[in-house]
Amino acid sequence: MARDASQRLVRVVDALDPQPGDRVLEVGCGHGVAVSLVAGRLTTGRIVAIDRSPKMTDAAVRRNREHIAAGRAEIRTGRFQDLGLGDERFDKIFAVHVRELASEEGLAWARALLTPGGRISLFDQMSPGSDEIVRSDHR
């Protein structure tokens, strides 16, 4: 599936630099392309990916069946603030072009889910149609 990834998402995942044991949360996973790229780098870690669109999460599940079956990926449908993640904590939380996560409320929600030393990375396109990315990190 990595062959289907846009260069923008490849650069996003390269910049995120998921390590084999990382616990990663993606907000706004869309079709699950970045999920595939991240899960492909994990061995003992896992990625939880969420999107509020059932159509997108259905596509993400289809794309990532192998990673889900291996326990490296989980796809959930809903608004990120409304999903009960319990005591689960993440080393890396990221989103591509998700404005709600960049709000004060969204960042507060995400910070509560970080492990000590964890990082929130927000990525966006430099311009419409571009594969170039801009990144901001928060702790």
Task: Domains for the chain: give ranges and CATH numbers.
Answer: 2-127 (3.40.50.150)
Q: Which amino acid is at 102?
A: A
- Cβ-contact 122, 102 below 8 angstroms: yes
List the structure tokens of 112. Answer: 């509560």
Report CA torsion sign: 85, 14, 124, 104.
positive
Tens-binned pLDDT, residue by residue, of the chain (139 aa):
444 568 889 999 999 999 999 999 999 999 999 999 999 999 999 999 999 999 999 999 999 999 999 999 999 999 887 877 778 899 999 999 888 888 889 899 999 999 999 999 999 866 666 666 776 778 7
List the structure tokens of 72. Answer: 């490296």
